[in-house]
């Protein structure tokens, strides 16, 4: 039996305390299950933002989506994770990734390794967090035992293997980094390419005692009666795709509320995605889709 849908919104816009709490309460009103914060320069700092989000709301869980492991020392990160889980009453979900924006590392004067080196560092962070937070001697203690649920985001083989070994949530970006682009430019995966990435993960995860929840980050939500007119302005940013191919991309949800809900259901059936995350600019647009999907 398929998991029930969960819906997250990834908050990326800095705000005053009052405005931040207002946005988080609005996310709760729209029935989002998880309020998430990214880990890029120029966006809100994750952990204090999540504590404020939890204090402003009652039901949603809160999470990082995703922490750039290259920014973090695992011992200090364990302290942040345990404290945040305690202050949010055990509502934290920890998202981690290897990092993909070279310019941010350079701005922070942090090393920018090869893809393999960044994955190696992420593995060390994950394993050290498991060791530290799994110890009854670690202080502070998280509410959730042995640690908050772990989400790992990535598409490469080594990332998918690490995800299969350690994460309760496997997050797929539906895009790949453009090699050599310092700003972290991403290129959309076709449906067939995403099929292959999910199948690769499932091979690595075949021996798991419990299946992971599968997450997909949506890049655009446009509610419209004219799908083709809505997608045309996007084509200049993805010139490798035709109009029909763009409308078929898993990361772009375009159509009426019913059509988008049907697309989300179809992607659940095809790939197994039951945890859907949208970016903050599309929080309102996706709200009616959540309502439609809850009816089933």
DSSP string, 22-39: HHHHHHHHTT-SEEEE--
Whether the pLDDT of residue 282 is over 80: the answer is yes
Residues 186-191: contacts with CB under 8 Å, at least 24 apart: 186/100, 188/219, 188/238, 188/241, 188/249, 188/251, 189/155, 189/250, 190/245, 190/248, 190/249, 191/248, 191/249, 191/250, 191/270
- Give CA–CA dist 97/171, Å, rounded: 10
Backbone angles phi, psi at 45, to 5 degrees: -65, 130
Mean pLDDT computed over 58-76: 98
Query: Nearest Cα to 152, choosing from 179, 181, 125, 175?
Result: 125
278: phi then psi, degrees, rounded to nearest 5: -115, 155
Residues 208-229: pLDDT tens digits?
A: 999 999 999 999 999 999 999 9
pLDDT digits (tens, 9 = 90+) for 71-119: 999 999 999 999 999 999 999 999 999 998 999 999 999 999 999 999 9
Q: How far apart are the C-alpha atoms of 133 and 88, rounded to whole Å?
A: 17
Residue-range domain boundaries for the chain: 6-294
Model confidence at 178, pLDDT cuts 50, 70, 90, reads: low
Give the C-alpha separation, 265 to 257, whole Å.
Answer: 12
Beta-bridged to residue 277, according to DSSP, are 8, 217
In which band, very low, low, confident or very high, does the pLDDT at 185 lie, cut at 50, 70 and 90? low
Give the whole-angstrom CA distance, residue 5 versus residue 75: 34
Is the Cα torsion angle 124, 96, 69, 19 positive or negative in sign?
negative
Give the mean pLDDT of the chain.
95
Architecture of domain 6-294: Alpha-Beta Barrel (3.20)
Measured between alpha carbons, how far is 95 from 104 in angstroms, rounded to an integer?
18
Average pLDDT over residues 253-264: 98
Peptide bond just before 140 cis, omega within 30 deg: yes
* DSSP H/E element including 177: strand 175-177
Query: pLDDT tens digit string along 132-175?
Result: 999 999 999 999 999 999 999 999 999 999 999 999 999 998 77
Mean pLDDT in residue range 224-238: 96
- Token couple for 149: 């649920």
């Amino acid at each position: 039996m398929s998991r029930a849908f969960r819906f997250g919104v990834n908050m990326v816009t800095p705000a005053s305390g009052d405005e931040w709490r207002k946005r988080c309460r609005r996310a709760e009103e729209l029935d989002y299950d998880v309020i998430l914060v990214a880990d890029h320069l120029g966006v809100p700092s994750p952990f204090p933002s999540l504590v404020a989000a939890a204090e402003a709301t009652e039901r949603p869980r809160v999470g990082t989506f995703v922490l750039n492991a290259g920014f973090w020392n695992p011992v200090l990160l364990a302290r942040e994770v345990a404290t945040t889980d305690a202050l949010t009453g055990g509502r934290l979900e920890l998202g981690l990734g290897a990092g993909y924006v070279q310019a941010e590392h350079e701005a922070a004067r942090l090393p920018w390794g090869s893809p393999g080196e960044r994955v190696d560092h992420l593995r060390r962070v994950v394993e050290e967090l498991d060791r530290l937070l799994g110890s009854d001697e670690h202080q502070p203690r998280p509410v959730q035992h042995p640690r908050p649920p772990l989400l790992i985001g990535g598409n490469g083989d080594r990332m998918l293997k690490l995800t299969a070994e350690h994460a309760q949530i496997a997050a797929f970006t539906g895009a790949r980094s453009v090699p050599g682009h310092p700003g972290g430019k991403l290129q959309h995966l076709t449906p067939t390419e995403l099929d292959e990435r999910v199948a690769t993960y499932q091979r690595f995860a075949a021996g798991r005692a419990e299946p992971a929840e599968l997450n997909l980050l949506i890049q655009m939500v446009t509610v419209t009666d004219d799908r083709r007119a809505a997608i045309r302005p996007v084509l200049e940013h993805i010139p490798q795709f035709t109009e029909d191919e763009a409308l078929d991309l898993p990361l772009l949800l375009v159509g009426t509320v019913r059509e988008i809900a049907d697309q989300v259901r179809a992607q659940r059936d095809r790939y197994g995605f039951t945890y859907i995350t949208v970016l903050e600019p599309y929080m309102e647009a996706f709200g009616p889709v959540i309502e439609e999907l809850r009816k089933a």
